[in-house]
Amino acid sequence: MQNTTPAANGRLERFVRSIEARGLSKNTVAAYCKDIQRFEDYLQSSSTDMPDLAERTTRVVRGFIQRVHTEGLSGRSINRMMSSVRAYLRFLHREKILAESVHSRIRGRRSSKRLPRYLNEPDAAALMDKPDSQNFQGRRDRAILETLYASGCRLEELAGMQLDDLNLKDGDIRVLGKGRKERRVPVGEYAVRSLEAYLSIRMQLFPGIRSQRLFLNRLGGDLTRRSISRIVKKYSAMLGTTDPISPHVLRHTFATHMLNKGADITSIKDMLGHSSLRSTQLYSHVSLEKLKKMYKLAHPRAEEHDEEKGKK
């Protein structure tokens, strides 16, 4: 990426400060920053100043989309980038850098929704049994897998979990989500037992450690998000999956299995920490095939009976 002008750098810095003040996660702020840096670079390379941007917003943004599309970005990534650009234009108007409010002129690209990948119930159960519970790393890894599957929490939420977030007596955990929103999520007996087994060996090996982080590495340091991802992929390889499983696949698995077992979508939304039902409704499509099978078995007029077919 080329160097932007001092004015552009100043705008970007102020924008970043404004979204940091909203309590967004470091990853979200970094993604915004990367998107807007790319947009500012495009403005500079196309010699577009702020008056031009206000006057020709749609044309400028269309040119930017064309640029990033030729660089191989997917429709989903471009839509995320457009969301960042809209937020940036709104900020520029609020700061009186843009005379007009132009962010509403930006529309995302229509893209087909990909259904989330998830494990079936036998594979999920088999994955939980892969770690060797006779040693520290195996107990920790089993607790990680069980907690991800039992709670549907995000990778960053699990990585940041503290000891005092656990309430194993009552079978629930506290999760600090996006925008530092706190929620309590129930976890089942399997997860509780795995966490108790891990905590027991954690205290034996690291009795005087000061860190309150729940999951530690073998040296007693805080376990990173990258390490947790590697742990999940390691056991997915043992399971024999074609594509490695990520922590997010376990989140999808949690939501899908809950829905299949009759949980209402509003409860799933709350447990996942979604701000609206729109994100959660994606899982209803995942269960559609199962619903069709149940319908054919249960509804008296779902299919013709054999004797009716024979008359034709």
Query: Which position among 11, 154, 202, 257 bears the catalytic label?
Result: 154
Closest to 235 (Cα-Cα) out of 110, 143, 145: 145
Q: Please say if 107 is a catalytic residue.
A: no
CB burial readout 288-306, b (16+ within 10 A) else e: eeeeeeeeeeeeeeeeeee
Query: Is 248 part of the annotated catalytic residue set?
Result: yes
Nearest to 117 by CA among 241, 230, 293, 271: 241
- Among candidate residues 140, 142, 251, 252, the one labeled active-site is 251
Q: Which of 67, 103, 117, 178 is catalytic?
A: 178
Residue 274 a catalytic site member: yes
d(CA 217, CA 208): 15
Summary count for the chain: helices (H), strands (E): 16, 3
Dihedral sign for Cα atoms in the order 122, 126, 127, 128:
positive
Which residue is catalytic, options 67, 93, 183, 248?
248
Q: Which of 42, 149, 235, 283 is catalytic?
A: 283
The phi, psi pair for 155, rounded to 5°, reads: -55, -50
- 283: annotated active-site residue: yes
Residue 162 CA to its chain's centroid (Å): 20
Write out the catalytic residue numbers: 154, 178, 248, 251, 274, 283
